[in-house]
Amino acid sequence: MATIGFHGAARQVTGSMYLFTTDGGYKILVDCGLSYEEGDQIQQNSYFPFDPEDIDIVVLTHAHLDHSGNLPTLINQGFEGQILCTEPTAALTDILLSDSANIQGLKQKIQGKKRKKGKSSENNYIRLYGHKQVMDTMDRIITWPFNIQFEIHKGLSVVFKEAGHILGASSVEIHYTENKKSKVIGFTGDLGNKGSKIIVDPTPMSNLNYLVMESTYGGRYRNEFRRGEEVIESYIRATCIDQPGRLIIPAFSVGRTQAILFVIHKLFEEGKIPRGIRVFADSKMGMFSSGIHQRYSEYLNSEARDFLTDHDSLFRYPELFFIEDDDDRKILENHYEPCIIVSSAGMMEGGRIREHVTNNIQNPACTFLIAGFCAPGTLGDQLLKGNSDVYMKGKSKTVYAKIASTDAFSGHPDHNGLIEYFAQVRKNSALETIFITHGEEDSMNFLKEHLEREGAKVTMPVKGEEIQLR
């Protein structure tokens, strides 16, 4: 009997990893993400509850590190098979894993220095992997398009469906045969919203017997009913046109940065905002990622593709300036006109955005527009809660800048979106069990209760649980 093991993102959001084993013992690992839960992350991520040598193939839903970030460790520990994903996922995974290796290297260096100076008694930080392991990972990747069956073994195949979450993101159907009967288990991966900027709408899976469903925003509802264009236009107007201020938008480098830069481009082209307001994109990863969005534009939605037939580029426009080095940074430092700054990271915990907070948080003519979810305790969360002071570089700074937020660019569906997705899957399936994963316990419970009211059989697996698919 086939089994499914929930080895990550079970009653938590990060570290996605599911092990599907067929009756005949063929093992497919769906995702191999980094876990960011509290505690020793190196320890958490260097232990696999199975032997990596036994895995036959990895199927990767999308490039985000909580789904892809532990692949180099898996290879380091003996995994010898291939990794299957879509073409844009491969390209984005390459830059995200390289960045992760860089950050780990940097942390190791900094802690080593601190220990030498006697400033840290912590154990030496040992990184999970470096660039060699990232290259080894990329060598294993084979890419496959959406909606076409990939036969990985006799009677066993995989189909990617568009998940609409980020460029190249897929839901995964595994088709297998047991006792001469065909069965299908579907993994949503991270889902996206209908009508997102640049990213396609999700295509619901079909003919499923089992569904492994994300629940990130179960029990939460979207607040913003304006379109992304209207939101960005109103803040540009209030901050950069009606007054000579700065609009600063913290954004993740993959997905949200591109959606926002594209919307600003559209506003200029449509004459909704006057030309000439400088837009600074301050994130190297954001720049690489924008290049990948441009390169794989055939995977984007029709709005972005139509825009491309009329214009040369999605992200190249005279006002937009990507900051690559210190010289570029000086240009921004010496820019005293109103401007827009888009910088990572989204929750404001790390990355270049910290510098912009330090320099602008006391400027009352400045607005920080937080365009995504901020985990409790992060700087973004503190600002959203209305903290009057923040600590930057060891100093307390009173917040004089305006703090605003929008969820118009959310990368996950809210509760209603999840229910709608489920209804579409159910319409074309004979679903036996739904496994809810990838959410905090409250969100999962909320979604579970809702689905059960609709007569579905729902399970909330715990981490490490292995379930027989009978």
Contact pattern for Zn ion over residues 67 through 106, marking x by CB under 5 A: ----------------------------------------
Tell me the window of 7-15, 136-144, 190-198, 353-361 that interacts with Zn ion (CB under 5 A): 190-198
CB of 404 to Zn ion, least distance (A): 24
CB of 16 to Zn ion, least distance (A): 8
Site for Zn ion, residues 31 to 70, rule: CB under 5 A: 64
- 27 vs 64, which CB is nearer to Zn ion? 64
CB of 327 to Zn ion, least distance (A): 34
Q: What single string gives the DSSP state of each residue in 140-186?
A: HEEE--TTS-EEEETTEEEEEEE--SSTT-EEEEEEEEETTEEEEEE
Tell me the window of 110-118, 185-193, 346-354, 413-421 that interacts with Zn ion (CB under 5 A): 185-193
Measured CA to CA, the distance from residue 112 to residue 125 in angstroms comes to 8
User: How many residues sit close enough to Zn ion to count as binding (CB under 5 A)?
Assistant: 2
Q: Name 22's Cβ contacts closer than 8 Å, sequence gap at least 6.
A: 2, 153, 156, 176, 178
Q: Does the footprint of Zn ion cover residue 256 (CB under 5 A)?
A: no
Q: Does the footprint of Zn ion cover residue 162 (CB under 5 A)?
A: no
CA angle 254, 260, 265 (to 5 degrees): 125
Q: Name 181's Cβ contacts closer than 8 Å, sequence gap at least 6.
A: none
Cis, bond preceding 345 (omega within 30 deg of 0)? yes
Measured CA to CA, the distance from residue 380 to residue 215 in angstroms comes to 22
- 11 vs 64, which CB is nearer to Zn ion? 64
Measured CA to CA, the distance from residue 5 to residue 339 in angstroms comes to 50
31, 94, 99, 190: which one binds Zn ion (CB under 5 A): 190
What backbone torsions phi and psi does residue 468 show, to the nearest 5 degrees? -85, 135
- 64 vs 278, which CB is nearer to Zn ion? 64
- 173 vs 190, which CB is nearer to Zn ion? 190
CB of 165 to Zn ion, least distance (A): 6
Tell me the window of 5-13, 49-57, 186-194, 267-275 that interacts with Zn ion (CB under 5 A): 186-194
CB of 64 to Zn ion, least distance (A): 4
Q: Does the footprint of Zn ion cover residue 284 (CB under 5 A)?
A: no
Q: Name 185's Cβ contacts closer than 8 Å, sequence gap at least 6.
A: 2, 4, 20, 173, 174, 176, 208, 209, 210, 211, 212, 469
Residues found near Zn ion in the complex (CB under 5 A): 64, 190
